[in-house]
């Protein structure tokens, strides 16, 4: 993959395909707190792109800003060539973007079946229940279990399964492996690889770069609300010293 580099600039996707998501000079605020300070990045169709950075760097705020659930944001966010910076979150969802938050967002009082049946269809092509169970066999076994009775890993599987039901093809996953057992992390990784192979595009927020290295095509480093570096997965080993500095690991 071509890598147009400047000092402090992020790796660029291949010039052979137009980006499905293009973010330029993205600024965002929580109340009076200025969180994002002019982010620029792109995601091409079929890629898995990972935002890496320390806690509080602005990674989650970036996803929420793209999704339209941050009240005050400026700049440009283009999806499939259309400007969505002023669009409402429900309109953005109907364009084919789905967001799986760090807190998972499942309905704890509903069982697995009810959670999976609840999301609206925003586009054709959503996964069937059987396809969800093929990805996550554990969910089929817990079909009648309430959200409160599920393990953390099962809750994460359910959260991802819910957004796959909607028909969205651009997925934003916020810390999908946080606090999970290694065997579940491996299963999440296998699922992301399979979704990519089936044509999904994924923007992933992760602190665990060792997990990200198993699924990502490219990385952007976020620090103090800005993209400060970026590189392709093939360049990961050459950038390990910088990663340790950026992430404090």
pLDDT for the residue numbered 8: 37
Distance (Å, whole) CA 54 – CA 201 = 24
Residues in the chain: 249
Place of tokens 């400060």: 228
Query: 99-140: per-residue pLDDT in tens?
Result: 999 888 899 899 999 999 988 888 888 999 999 999 999 999
Evaluate whether residue 89 is within a structural domain.
yes
Where does the pLDDT of residue 3 fall: very low under 50, low under 70, confident under 90, or very high at 90 and above?
A: very low
Whole-model pTM over 0.85: yes
Distance (Å, whole) CA 26 – CA 5 = 20
Query: How many C-beta neighbours within 10 Å does residue 186 have?
Result: 14
Q: What is the mean pLDDT of residues 175-190?
A: 93
DSSP single-letter state for residue 167: T
Three-point CA angle 199, 184, 209, nearest 5°: 70
Place of tokens 């969802």: 93
Instruction: Name the residue range of residue 242's domain.
Output: 1-95+215-249
pLDDT for the residue numbered 71: 86
Evaluate whether residue 231 is within a structural domain.
yes
Query: 204-221: per-residue pLDDT in tens?
Result: 999 888 899 999 999 999
Where does the pLDDT of residue 249 fall: very low under 50, low under 70, confident under 90, or very high at 90 and above?
A: low
Of 9, 11, 6, 7, residue with least CA distance to 235: 11
Q: What is the mean pLDDT of residues 219-239?
A: 95
Evaluate whether residue 115 is within a structural domain.
no
pLDDT for the residue numbered 248: 78
Check if the beta carbon of residue 101 is closer than 8 Å to that of residue 174. yes
Evaluate whether residue 241 is within a structural domain.
yes
Where does the pLDDT of residue 148 fall: very low under 50, low under 70, confident under 90, or very high at 90 and above?
A: confident
Evaluate whether residue 220 is within a structural domain.
yes
CATH number of the CATH domain containing 221:
3.40.50.300
Query: How many C-beta neighbours within 10 Å does residue 179 have?
Result: 11
Q: Which residues pair with 33 in a beta bridge?
A: 30
pLDDT for the residue numbered 2: 34
DSSP single-letter state for residue 217: S
Evaluate whether residue 202 is within a structural domain.
no
How many structural domains compose the chain?
1
Check if the beta carbon of residue 177 is closer than 8 Å to that of residue 134. no
Query: 35-88: per-residue pLDDT in tens?
Result: 999 999 999 999 999 999 999 999 999 999 999 999 899 999 999 999 999 999
Q: Where are the alpha helices (DSSP H) in the chain?
A: 59-67, 89-94, 112-117, 129-135, 137-141, 152-164, 182-197, 209-212, 240-247
Distance (Å, whole) CA 155 – CA 207 = 19
Check if the beta carbon of residue 153 is closer than 8 Å to that of residue 47. no
Nearest 10 degrees: Cα torsion 17, 53, 195, 130 = -150
Q: Is the pLDDT reported for residue 167 higher than 90?
A: yes
Check if the beta carbon of residue 160 is closer than 8 Å to that of residue 175. no
Evaluate whether residue 139 is within a structural domain.
no
């Amino acid at each position: 993959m071509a890598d147009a580099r400047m000092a402090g600039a992020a790796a660029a996707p291949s010039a052979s395909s137009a980006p499905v998501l293009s973010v330029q000079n993205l600024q965002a605020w929580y109340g009076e707190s200025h969180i994002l300070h002019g982010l620029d990045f792109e995601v091409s169709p079929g890629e898995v792109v990972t935002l890496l950075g320390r806690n509080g760097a602005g990674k989650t705020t970036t996803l929420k800003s793209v999704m339209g659930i941050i009240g005050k944001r400026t700049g440009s966010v283009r999806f499939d060539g259309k400007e969505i910076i002023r669009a409402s979150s429900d309109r953005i969802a109907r364009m084919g973007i789905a967001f799986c938050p760090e807190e998972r967002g499942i309905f704890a009082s509903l069982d697995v079946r009810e959670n999976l049946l609840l999301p609206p269809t925003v586009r054709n092509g959503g996964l069937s229940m059987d396809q969800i169970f093929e990805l996550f066999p554990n969910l089929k076994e817990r079909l009648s279990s309430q959200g409160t009775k599920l393990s953390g890993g099962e809750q994460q599987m359910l959260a991802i399964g819910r957004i796959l039901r909607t028909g969205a093809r651009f997925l934003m996953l916020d810390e999908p492996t946080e606090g999970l057992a290694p065997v579940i992390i491996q299963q999440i990784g296998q699922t992301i690889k399979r979704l990519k192979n089936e044509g999904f595009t994924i923007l992933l927020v992760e602190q665990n770069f060792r997990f990200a290295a198993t699924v990502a095509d490219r990385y952007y480093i976020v620090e103090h609300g800005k993209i400060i570096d970026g590189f392709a997965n093939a360049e990961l080993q050459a950038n390990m010293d910088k990663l340790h500095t950026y992430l404090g690991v």
